[in-house]
Amino acid sequence: MPWNRAQPLVSMDSVRHAWRVSVGPVVEPVSVEDLKLHARIDSGFEDSKLQSYLTAARIMLEKDTRRAFCTQTVVVAMDFLPTYIVLPVAPVQSITSITYYDSLNVQQTLASTEYESDLYAEPALIRPAFGKTWPTTYERFNAVELTAVVGYGAASAVPEDAKQAMRLLASHWYRYGEAVADNVTHDVKLSYDALVGRLKWGDYA
């Protein structure tokens, strides 16, 4: 039978799920010094403000592209185990654990031999190992939690187009302050949207 590329996505759509960052990155992809060079800022009086802009720009870009940049840990919660688990963020470095509440409402850790994963795919996929089936879970909210390490690794490994998008946003916020909440200049928006378009993934694009 030919491989149905939509099957994992349909499977994941059947389960209520959400994800959150449990351990954030310890460094930002773009340093304050890099931003100052880009924006031609000579003084160091507003370095803390620039750092906050860089963090906000990174978070915004991560949401717009469904990517993580520097290494961080995420937890995906599901009400039950679907046929395929589709990770909602890319790239995925490793699966740390899959825990679930069994039929007696006791939390268990699923052995890594019970499932296989394709971490090269975007989105990354997890399914039962050959000849295996998922265990029965208790009927409760967030009966399953999957913990994964995501991101490209160090700041040096983050794609340059992602860094440029962060520089654009952070320098724009520095120049225009509060006004940018509702008014991103046309040129910046065009450039940012073009970079997001290169980085974002969806389904199996």
Entry pTM: 0.89
The verdict on residue 112 lying in a domain is yes
pLDDT at 11: 84
Is the per-residue pLDDT at 77 higher than 80?
yes
Q: Does the residue 149 lie in any domain? A: yes
For residues 81 and 89, what is the distance between their CA atoms, to the nearest angstrom? 18
Q: How many domains does the chain have?
A: 1
Tell me how long the chain is: 205
| pLDDT tens readout for residues 122-181 | 899 999 999 999 999 999 999 999 999 999 999 999 999 999 999 999 999 998 865 444
pLDDT exceeds 50 at position 182: no
How far is 173 from 166, CA to CA, in rounded Å?
11
Mean pLDDT of the chain: 91
- Whether 1 maps to a domain, the answer reads no
Q: Does residue 204 form part of some domain? A: no
Domain of residue 116 covers 7-199
In the sheet that holds 144-150, the strands lie side by side as 17-23, 72-78, 144-150, 92-101, 107-109
Assigned domain for 57 exists: yes
Q: Are 51 and 28 contacting, i.e. CB atoms less than 8 angstroms apart? A: yes
Q: With 0-12 CB in 10 A as exposed, 13-18 as middle and 19+ as buried, what is 104?
A: exposed
pLDDT greater than 70 at residue 51:
yes
104 vs 178: CA distance, rounded Å: 53
Q: What is the pLDDT of residue 111?
A: 98
pLDDT of residue 110: 98
Instruction: Provide the percentage of residues in the chain whose pLDDT is more than 70.
Output: 91
